[in-house]
Amino acid sequence: ETWVEIGDDSVVREYATVNRGTAHSHVTRVGRGSFVMSYVHLGHDCQVGDGVILSNAVQLAGHVLVEDRAIISGMTAVHQFVRVGRHAFIGGCSRVAKDVPPYIKAVGNPVKLYGLNSVGLQRAGFSEATLTELKRAYRLMFRSDLMLSAAVAKAREELDTSHVEVQHLLDFVENSPRGVGF
């Protein structure tokens, strides 16, 4: 048996398609309080977290993971098995073939990373100390001359990883099977 699960207080608008899971995971899931706008396509086995916004005509291929409170702008296509991190923001008309780390803004074809999602994080109530450490992590991993693996190792040494958000960002990047967009 395979299923679709839509969480409480989620809205799915006109002409959206949500494919049920396959024998791979048995379920396609949309979390609580999410907004799936018109003409969105959710492929089989997608896992969409709580509070996610998928704007008009977003197309998620099968097995895509979208973590909590991410926003994907209109007419964006996301390749199968891609992961989009929590509180990430993806600009419209983007082509996402690699993972988008949490707390980051990304846009383009192919997608490129454009800094911390500062406005979204401030609106979500993140502390200044957390924002500062996330900015430092972003600069170290994506704006330095270091190889990504070396940058993650250096970040683990130099940053305050007592912030769960910093730890999540480092773990997400380090464990990305597809690699992350640059």
pLDDT of residue 182: 79
Q: What pLDDT is stored for residue 2 in this prediction?
A: 97
pLDDT in tens, 110-146: 999 999 999 999 999 999 999 999 999 999 999 999 9
From the list 21, 31, 62, 181, the catalytic residue is 62
Query: What's the predicted TM-score (pTM) here?
Result: 0.97
Per the annotation, the verdict on 181 as an active-site residue is no
The answer to whether the peptide bond before residue 101 is cis (omega within 30 degrees of 0) is no
Look at residue 181 in the predicted model and tell me its pLDDT.
Answer: 82
The one catalytic residue in 21, 41, 43, 44 is 44
- For 49, the 3-state DSSP assignment is coil
- Spans of the chain, pLDDT less than 50: none
Active-site annotation holds for 68: no
CA 131 – CA 146 distance, rounded (Å) = 22
Name the DSSP class of 51: T
Kindly name the residue from 21, 41, 43, 45 that is annotated as catalytic. 45
Give the separation between CA 123 and CA 126, rounded to whole angstroms. 8
Would you call 62 a catalytic residue per the annotation?
yes
Q: How many residues can be counted in the chain? A: 182
